Amino acid sequence: MDNELGYIDENLKVIRYNIGEALSRSGRTEDSLRLMAVTKTVPPEAVNHAVELGVSLLGENRVQEFQSKQEAYDSSAEVHFIGHLQTNKVKYIIRPMTMIQSVDSLKLGNEINRLAKAENKIMDILCEVNIGGEESKSGTAPGKLRELLEQLSQLDNIRIRGLMTIPPPSDSDLFLGRMEELYNTISTQVMPLDILSMGMTHDYAAAILHGSNIVRIGTGLFGARDYSKK
């Protein structure tokens, strides 16, 4: 099995090299960034191999897929939910997830808060921002972010840690810069934040230069997958 999964070792070496270069250019240390393995359609044995190599943070996009693979995962890994989340699916992930990165409405925040309270848990969340204003993507509009954060901050069983975004790929660097500015403004004017989650396979190095401290990499680590299978 190790030989079959050796491509993950090689991909990870490239990713870690590129991360190191970007951190060096930014004047940041290695411990200022977390690498997330995005596990959408990836079999558990490949995910666990990445965990063995030191990738301790996993990102799940789909509730049903996570449920089908959860028991097979290395229990040492931390799991965040990063996909679009419907309120009726929160109950299935409220216990195993350590963070929900895709909160984009008060309705969703209220449901997370209600179920976290029932679990006697404080759930860490990120607010997802649709920085490019794309109709095909979820996330709150930048102009409505402050109001949403103020509303969510009133809920006792969630803890707002920061922001998440998926910028338009065609103008990624432009929108990464806008997201960095928005994050810094919110952090200084509204509430303290400590996580900016942005950057994927095609733009993670640029995202690091713009202050990201969680990069979410799937294809770059596990290779191209056939999403039609799920």
In Å, the largest CA–CA distance within the chain is 51
- The answer to whether residues 186 and 193 touch, using CB atoms and an 8 Å cutoff, is yes
In a domain, 126, yes or no: yes
Joined tokens for residue 34: 């977390």
In a domain, 38, yes or no: yes
Q: Is residue 130 classed as helix, strand or coil in its secondary structure?
A: coil
Q: Among 98, 90, 93, 107, which Cα is nearest to 152's?
A: 107
- The answer to whether residues 131 and 182 touch, using CB atoms and an 8 Å cutoff, is yes
Tens digit of each residue's pLDDT (9 = 90 or more) over 94-142: 999 999 999 999 999 999 999 999 999 999 999 999 999 998 899 999 9
- The answer to whether residues 19 and 33 touch, using CB atoms and an 8 Å cutoff, is yes
pLDDT of residue 226: 60
Joined tokens for residue 194: 């400590």
pLDDT of residue 169: 87
In a domain, 20, yes or no: yes
Query: According to the 3-state scheme, what is the secondary structure of 59-88?
Result: EECCHHHHHHHHHHCCCCCEEEECCCCCHH
Q: 36 has which bridge partners?
A: 57, 216
- The answer to whether residues 167 and 184 touch, using CB atoms and an 8 Å cutoff, is no
Count CB-CB contacts under 10 A for residue 136: 7
> Residue 2 above 90 pLDDT?
no
pLDDT of residue 224: 87
Domains identified in the chain, total number:
1
In a domain, 228, yes or no: no
Q: How far apart are the first and last CA of the chain?
A: 23
Task: Give CA–CA dist 204/86, Å, rounded.
Answer: 27
CA angle 164, 53, 102 (to 5 degrees): 15
Q: Among 145, 151, 144, 97, which Cα is nearest to 125's?
A: 97
- Give the CATH number, domain containing residue 94: 3.20.20.10
Average pLDDT, the chain: 95
This prediction has a pTM of: 0.94
What's the chain's Rg over C-alpha atoms? 17
In a domain, 229, yes or no: no
In a domain, 22, yes or no: yes
Tens digit of each residue's pLDDT (9 = 90 or more) over 161-187: 999 999 998 888 999 999 999 999 999
Distances from the Cα of 49 to the Cαs of 9, 43, 74, 126, in angstroms? 9, 10, 9, 27
Q: Within the chain, how many helices (H) and strands (E) appear? A: 9, 8
Domain that holds residue 41: 6-223
pLDDT of residue 41: 96
> Residue 10 above 70 pLDDT?
yes
